[in-house]
C-alpha cells in the first residue's frame, strides 16, 4: 500500500536543507519510475509530493528573507 504524500503544512515543519534533500531524492525517484513504468498512481503521488516540497521550500525562503529584512 502506498501512503499519501505529506501536505505542505506537514513539510513546513522540516528545515530548508532537509526539504531540498527530499526534493532531490523524490525528483530522482520520479524520473526513474516514469522511465520504468510510465504514469501510475505511484508516480502521480510522487509528483504531488514534489509540488508540495516546492511550495514548502518557497515558503521557507520567503520567511527567511522577511526575517532577515527586519
Q: Along the 70 residues of the chain, how does pLDDT read in single tens digits?
A: 457 888 999 999 999 999 999 999 999 999 999 999 999 999 999 999 999 999 999 999 888 777 777 6
pTM of the model: 0.84
Task: Report yes or no: 7 and 52 within 8 Å, Cβ to Cβ.
Answer: yes
- The residue extents of the domains of the chain are 26-65
Amino acid at each position: 500500500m502506498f501512503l499519501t504524500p505529506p501536505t505542505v503544512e506537514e513539510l513546513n515543519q522540516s528545515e530548508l536543507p532537509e526539504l531540498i534533500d527530499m526534493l532531490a531524492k523524490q525528483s530522482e525517484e520520479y524520473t526513474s519510475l516514469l522511465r520504468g513504468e510510465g504514469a501510475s498512481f505511484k508516480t502521480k503521488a510522487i509528483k504531488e509530493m514534489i509540488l508540495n516540497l516546492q511550495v514548502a521550500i518557497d515558503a521557507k525562503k520567503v520567511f527567511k528573507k522577511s526575517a532577515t529584512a527586519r
